[in-house]
């Protein structure tokens, strides 16, 4: 489906003489061909096609909706979320430093934004210059301070790497970790498909461990251990474990018991722990406030605290900043061998440096305006407004899901997604089979074609065999319109296939 849609959209590239081209499937890296990334796969591609039809023909497109709503990707500012003012003010001033000496500037920009831009430019020089490959040292110092303030344990700028989004950090660490096609990494199922894609690109094995939907997507430690043993029995050299907390696509927040179980397992089984914490400030319930794996590890003391190799990832793409396109993030190494740190640094240096715009975004994420600053009140109002709105939207959509025939859904404890289970009628499963699609991809494609809502089928994240899901964000404004479209589609679908 992806290939046919992509070809359809880019048919102008079709070669007149197919034998002329060097790069064809037979002659490209087969690991790239094998990699999959459903978040921007076939269904979002089709959504783009429909959007273009609406833009060109409007009502004459003959579609049963007048807008496509992208609920496939956690991209807040694509869905009208306003950027945080302070971040953009500092960015504007650092991008065009002449503004700092313009007579009107002090009447347009608050004094703390001007001061922050000045001090950043003293540390950076120019946003157009390469920085240190790990990122600007002074920014890394403030990231370390943010981590210490959050966790109550020391953090060093020498263990922190600023990155072009968390994706680059994850890809780099996995590239260093994998040394053989027998190597494997434990991946939560359902998972964010960056991990299986990055493992495929490195010709490594994804070793699944299933999150337990009936236990709020909590960890089933026995299943984890069994899958680890099974993988080893099959000859896989399991070297690491990925945790995503809060979870994507599940929206779960791990319990402290689960976190300790994971740390103990990594210690006992000598696994590197990759903690993806990009949604750490997207937490909606009071029951499970965010606790980092760095804190959990250090709180456990010996023998874990100073032995388990932990790398923790964060990003400016999520939370309330939602600066996905700015490409900013960081990871912190903990208990890595100096030999490993040398390779992490070398890979970062090959990539020269992350964008300075992204680095400035990380700086403001970790050191936002503080109480008493001129920008504090507005920053606080914007951040709490975004957090409140996301929580409200998740609850409205969750309630709607639970009223639909054959749909159940766990609360979104965190992140930006709901991941409902749908009971797909046998007739629809048969129709999906005939169409050569996974049942939840069949459902999701029809949902798009008939309602304009673009979601990602659960098969794109992995799920227990025989279960079907889809993932939706709750970022779009107009939640009532979303619910109306979904409800109508679902009732029509269940009627057609029951």
Give the interface with ligand DCS as residue ranges (CB under 6 A): 39, 73-75, 165-167, 192, 194, 244, 248, 276, 278, 315, 317, 324, 329
Reference 315, options 437, 170, 444; nearest CA is 170
176 contacts 347 by C-beta, under 8 angstroms: yes
Beta carbon nearer to ligand DCS, 110 or 169: 169
In whole angstroms, how close is the CB of 74 to ligand DCS at the nearest point?
3
- For residue 17, give every residue at least 6 positions away whose Cβ sits within 8 Å of its Cβ, in sequence order, or none: none
CA distances from 280 to 11, 200, 253, 332 (A): 42, 27, 9, 15
231 contacts 205 by C-beta, under 8 angstroms: yes
Beta carbon nearer to ligand DCS, 93 or 360: 360
In whole angstroms, how close is the CB of 124 to ligand DCS at the nearest point?
21
Reference 38, options 252, 196, 167, 187; nearest CA is 196
CA distances from 32 to 178, 185, 401 (A): 16, 18, 36
Beta carbon nearer to ligand DCS, 165 or 439: 165
* Rg (alpha carbons) of the chain, rounded to whole number: 23
In whole angstroms, how close is the CB of 458 to ligand DCS at the nearest point?
13
3-state secondary structure of 390: helix
CA distances from 348 to 74, 142, 147, 164 (A): 26, 20, 21, 11
In whole angstroms, how close is the CB of 318 to ligand DCS at the nearest point?
7
In whole angstroms, how close is the CB of 388 to ligand DCS at the nearest point?
21
Beta carbon nearer to ligand DCS, 117 or 253: 253
Q: Tokens 């971040």 — which residue? A: 87
> Which residue number is nearest to ligand DCS in terms of Cβ?
165
Q: How many CB atoms lie within 10 A of CB 64?
A: 11
Cα separation, 50 vs 31, in Å, equals: 31
In whole angstroms, how close is the CB of 351 to ligand DCS at the nearest point?
14
In whole angstroms, how close is the CB of 165 to ligand DCS at the nearest point?
3
Beta carbon nearer to ligand DCS, 165 or 425: 165
Reference 187, options 199, 175, 203; nearest CA is 199
In whole angstroms, how close is the CB of 169 to ligand DCS at the nearest point?
8
Beta carbon nearer to ligand DCS, 41 or 165: 165
Beta carbon nearer to ligand DCS, 93 or 390: 390
Beta carbon nearer to ligand DCS, 77 or 105: 77
């Amino acid at each position: 489906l992806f290939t046919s849609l992509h070809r359809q959209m880019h048919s102008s590239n079709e070669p007149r003489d197919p034998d002329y081209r060097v790069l064809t499937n037979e002659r490209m890296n087969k690991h790239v061909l094998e990699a999959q990334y459903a978040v921007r796969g076939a269904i979002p591609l089709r959504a783009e096609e429909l959007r273009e039809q609406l833009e060109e023909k409007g009502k004459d497109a003959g579609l049963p909706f007048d807008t496509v709503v992208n609920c496939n990707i956690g991209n807040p500012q694509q869905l009208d979320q306003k950027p945080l003012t302070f971040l953009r003010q500092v960015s504007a001033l650092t991008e065009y430093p002449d503004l700092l000496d313009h007579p009107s500037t002090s009447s347009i920009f608050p004094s703390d934004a001007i001061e922050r831009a000045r001090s950043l430019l003293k540390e950076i020089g120019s946003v157009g210059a390469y920085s240190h490959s790990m990122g600007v040292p002074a920014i890394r110092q403030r990231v370390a301070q943010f981590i210490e303030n959050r966790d109550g344990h020391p953090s060093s700028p020498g263990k922190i790497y600023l990155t072009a989004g968390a994706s680059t950090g994850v890809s780099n660490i996995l590239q260093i970790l994998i040394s053989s096609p027998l190597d494997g990494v434990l991946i939560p199922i359902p998972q964010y498909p960056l991990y299986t894609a990055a493992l495929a690109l490195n010709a490594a094995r994804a070793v699944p461990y299933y999150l337990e939907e009936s236990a709020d997507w909590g960890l089933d430690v026995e299943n984890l251990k069994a899958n680890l043993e099974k993988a080893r029995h099959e000859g896989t050299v399991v070297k690491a474990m990925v945790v995503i907390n809060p979870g994507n696509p599940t929206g779960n927040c791990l319990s402290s018991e689960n976190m300790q179980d994971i740390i103990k397992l990594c210690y006992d089984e000598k696994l590197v722990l990759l903690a993806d914490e990009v949604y750490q400030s997207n937490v909606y319930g009071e029951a499970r406030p965010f606790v980092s794996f760095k804190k959990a590890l250090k709180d456990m003391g010996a023998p874990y605290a100073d032995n388990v190799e932990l790398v923790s990832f964060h990003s400016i793409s999520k939370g309330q900043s939602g600066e996905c396109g700015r490409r900013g993030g960081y990871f912190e190494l903990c208990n890595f061998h100096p030999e490993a740190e040398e390779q992490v640094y070398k890979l970062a240096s090959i990539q020269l440096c992350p964008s300075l715009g992204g680095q400035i975004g990380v700086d403001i994420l970790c050191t936002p305006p503080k109480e008493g600053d001129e920008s504090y009140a507005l920053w606080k109002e914007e951040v709490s407004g975004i957090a409140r709105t996301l929580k409200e939207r998740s609850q409205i959509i969750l309630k709607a899901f639970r009223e639909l025939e054959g749909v159940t859904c766990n609360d979104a404890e965190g992140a930006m997604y709901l991941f409902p289970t749908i009971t797909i009628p046998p007739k629809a499963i048969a129709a999906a089979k005939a169409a050569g699609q996974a049942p939840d991809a069949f459902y999701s494609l029809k949902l798009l074609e008939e309602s304009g809502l673009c979601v990602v089928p659960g098969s794109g994240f992995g799920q227990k065999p025989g279960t079907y899901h889809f993932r939706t964000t709750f970022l779009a404004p107009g939640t009532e319109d979303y619910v109306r479209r979904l409800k109508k589609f679902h009732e029509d679908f269940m009627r057609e296939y029951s």
